[in-house]
Chain A
Amino acid sequence: MDYFIELFFGGLTRGSIYALIALGYTMVYGIIGLINFAHGEIYMIGAFTSFIVATVLSIYGFPLLAIVVIAGLAAAVWSSAYGYTVEKLAYRPLRNAPRLAPLISAIGMSIFLQNYVLLAQTSDFLPFPALIPEFEFMEPVAHIVGSSDLTILVTTAFVMLGLTFLIKFTKIGKAMRATAQDKTMAVLVGINVDRVISATFVIGSALAAIGGMLIASHIGQINFYIGFIAGIKAFTAAVLGGIGSIPGAVLGSLVLGLTESFATGYVSSDYEDVFAFSLLVLILIFKPSGLLGKAETKKV
């Protein structure tokens, strides 16, 4: 039973890691129907930014909490700027092009950003400082749930609740929903659609950056390539949960994380991905729009 609980929490942590990235995918898709492949790279840039800021601050002897807050903010702002710019340069000009065009553009951005970081920074693995301290009160259960696991779980929960609140109850949220429903109609009722879309990218990128910092601190290393694999898994999770749906992204991520964890624990880690993707195929056969996705009806 202990083993089951350990695997369960391991799976939850892994799922939460995916969720922090998957939320950005799903938000962008919900609004403009674009799979933003560069999202994983925004996450990676967030991790790098927080790494650089945290390293500099720790040289000046700042306390850990201050480092976490400042590095997190810096990463969020910096990544948001990237998200905003990517949207403006690579996606906006293609807004009315066939759907394939922005998709290719997104893949191009992803490759560009990876290589940009590779050249501007390094191709080596870098040691990421442990920004999440080992909490005293977690020590008795540290062998099951670590402090960084807990932090990631709690952050994901808060982020999901916050996003749901934002979309359901705020003015910008209302505008987002309107834009998602019908872009032309939204323009007609006086919504600045471009600004709404930019806001979506900014929020998604900031989340990815925070995620990048937490996850890198949990894993302890970063390099320019981390965004790609994490991005693919998070994208899978978003599809699993129903792309476009905020709770769906979280649910899909948790299902994916738990499946991988149990598959490794009870079968073999050699088949971890096999199980994860078999599950994806199965769910998509029975629920083509994902666990919580709404069936897309063609607008006539």
Chain B
Amino acid sequence: MRSGLKKKMFVAAVALGFAMALPAAGFAGDTIKLGVAGAQSGDLASYGLPTVKAAELVVAQYNANGGINGKKVELLIEDDVCKPEVATNTATKLVTDGVDVVLGHICSGATKAALPIYKEAGVVVMSPSATNPGLTQSGDYPNFFRTIASDDAQAKTEVDFAINVIGAKKIAVIHDKGDYGKGLAEFAKKFIENSGKAEVVLFEGVTPGAVDYTAIVQKIKRKGADAVIFGGYHPEASKIVSMMKKKRMKTTFISDDGVKDDTFIKVAGKNAEGVYASGPQDNSKNPLSTKAIADHKKEYGEDPGAFYENAYSAALALLNAIDKADSTEMDAVVKALRTENVDTPVGKIHFDENGDAVGVGFAMYQVQNGQYVEVK
């Protein structure tokens, strides 16, 4: 009899234990767990710590307003020192702790190493700073998103603009044979070819400092290009633009951040009029950006560090998606991220099918009356 009671109590205790354990696995508990992973110590800590602060501020704000659908948001902060081999451990630890979504990682290498683990566990990850193009474009990680432009985003911005806004069908891609210019030109070429809407009629490098560019300009004309995308810096750009004007050409000239410089306008003078150049997006007029920075100053008494606005935006985007999806399931969150627009310090954003934020990164500017004006 006594032993029978003991046995019964044991079974009951085990059953109770299971019963208590089950909801934690099934319904994600009473808090939403936002993981923050990245370098928080070591050489690259300055890249990762602003993200932690951004997450703290956003989460505090959400919780002050009653959390998401009645649930408070809880932060799980883990350090990966920006090392791929540490990042896998970080990811495993977060997944074991039952993380719902992760803000991170900071470095592209660490992010890449950690992603398969999150994918396996069905956790959505959003990086404020990993710029490697393959992370999104490879299509390997449907759970990955980012609020920073990838390394090739500038070329993408230029190509999209040339094809969709200018309506160019034949594009000449010219570069200055340098790392920056040629790298950009190669991405541009790839994007034009993949778009199927325009063709690359010329892909060539010019020698910086050469006395004149008549021959290359005539070649552009002969190939019938209706737009030129130039990768390089302003001295060459102003020579090419001036020569094109001398040859009475009306070809649209599109260039990059190396040309979006007032020196270009000063040197090329009236020939600069109408030239397009891509440059980093200007957030300074966005009230959310101003607020995010002001909050940081108030809370921590200093200006925010690297990727702060991107991280702030990523935290907002993640929590907003969970709110809209009313779930922390990967598929629902992913769907919400792609469809729901959210106001963030980097602008009103949603994400494309690769996971890149639409409307983040580079904007197009045009020289109008002697200064660069953003083209909407």
| A219 x B211 contact (CB < 8 A) | yes
Q: How far is the CB of B207 from chain A (nearest CB, A)?
A: 6
Interface residues of A in 258-280 (CB under 8 A from B): 260-262, 264-265, 268-270, 272-273
User: Of all chain A residues, which has the CB nearest B264?
Assistant: A125
Most A-side CB within 10 Å, residue of B215, B247, B266 = B215
A10 and B239 in contact (CB under 8 A), knowing A220-B268, A270-B205?
no
In the docked arrangement, what's the CA distance between A149 and B238, Å? 18
**A229 within 8 Å of B by Cβ?**
yes
- Chain B 196-225 against A: per-residue CB contact (8 Å), 1 yes, 0 no? 000000001111011110111011011000
**B235 within 8 Å of A by Cβ?**
yes
Contact for A125 among B206, B207, B221, B267, CB less than 8 A: B267
Q: How far is the CB of A245 from chain B (nearest CB, A)?
A: 22
In the docked arrangement, what's the CA distance between A286 and B186, Å? 40
Interface residues of A in 191-231 (CB under 8 A from B): 215, 218-221, 223, 225-226, 229-230
Contact for A142 among B206, B219, B242, B247, CB less than 8 A: B247
Residues of A within 8 A of B268 (CB): 127, 220
Residues of B within 8 A of A230 (CB): 211
Interface residues of A in 6-37 (CB under 8 A from B): 6-7, 10-11, 13-14, 17-18
In the docked arrangement, what's the CA distance between A212 and B266, Å? 20
Residues of B within 8 A of A260 (CB): 215
Residues of B within 8 A of A269 (CB): 204-207, 215-216, 219
- Chain A 117-128 against B: per-residue CB contact (8 Å), 1 yes, 0 no? 000000011110
**A169 within 8 Å of B by Cβ?**
no
- Chain B 136-177 against A: per-residue CB contact (8 Å), 1 yes, 0 no? 000000000000000000000000000000000000000001
Contact for A14 among B177, B212, B235, B248, CB less than 8 A: B212
In the docked arrangement, what's the CA distance between A230 and B207, Å? 12
| B246 x A142 contact (CB < 8 A) | yes
Residues of B within 8 A of A261 (CB): 214-215
Residues of B within 8 A of A3 (CB): 218, 222
Residues of B within 8 A of A17 (CB): 211-212
Contact-residue size bin, chain B (C-beta under 8 Å from the other chain): 20 to 34
Residues of B within 8 A of A7 (CB): 215, 218
Most B-side CB within 10 Å, residue of A17, A124, A127, A233 = A127
In the docked arrangement, what's the CA distance between A270 and B216, Å? 10
**B29 within 8 Å of A by Cβ?**
no
A265 and B211 in contact (CB under 8 A), knowing A125-B267, A220-B239?
no
**A146 within 8 Å of B by Cβ?**
yes
In the docked arrangement, what's the CA distance between A17 and B214, Å? 13
Q: How far is the CB of B204 from chain A (nearest CB, A)?
A: 5
| A11 x B215 contact (CB < 8 A) | yes
| B211 x A229 contact (CB < 8 A) | yes
Contact for B248 among A142, A148, A221, A229, CB less than 8 A: A142
Give the number of chain A interface residues (Cβ < 8 Å): 39
**B286 within 8 Å of A by Cβ?**
no
Q: How far is the CB of A276 from chain B (nearest CB, A)?
A: 10
Q: How far is the CB of B201 from chain A (nearest CB, A)?
A: 13
Residues of A within 8 A of B221 (CB): 143
**B260 within 8 Å of A by Cβ?**
no
Residues of B within 8 A of A126 (CB): 267
In the docked arrangement, what's the CA distance between A11 and B239, Å? 17
Residues of B within 8 A of A218 (CB): 212
In the docked arrangement, what's the CA distance between A272 and B235, Å? 19
Interface residues of B in 226-256 (CB under 8 A from A): 234-235, 238-239, 242, 246-249
Residues of A within 8 A of B212 (CB): 10, 13-14, 17, 218-219
A221 and B218 in contact (CB under 8 A), knowing A127-B268, A269-B206, A269-B207?
no
Most A-side CB within 10 Å, residue of B205, B210, B234, B238 = B210
Residues of A within 8 A of B242 (CB): 219-220
A264 and B216 in contact (CB under 8 A), knowing A229-B211, A270-B204?
yes
**B269 within 8 Å of A by Cβ?**
yes
Residues of B within 8 A of A273 (CB): 207
In the docked arrangement, what's the CA distance between A8 and B296, Å? 63
A10 and B218 in contact (CB under 8 A), knowing A218-B212, A221-B235?
yes
A: which residues have CB within 8 A of B?
3, 6-7, 10-11, 13-14, 17-18, 124-127, 142-143, 146, 148-149, 215, 218-221, 223, 225-226, 229-230, 233, 260-262, 264-265, 268-270, 272-273
Sample 30 A-B pairs with CB under 8 A, ordered by A number: A3-B222, A6-B218, A7-B215, A10-B215, A124-B263, A125-B234, A125-B263, A126-B267, A127-B267, A127-B268, A142-B246, A142-B248, A143-B247, A215-B211, A218-B212, A219-B211, A219-B239, A220-B267, A220-B271, A223-B235, A226-B209, A229-B210, A230-B211, A233-B211, A264-B219, A269-B204, A269-B205, A269-B207, A269-B215, A272-B215
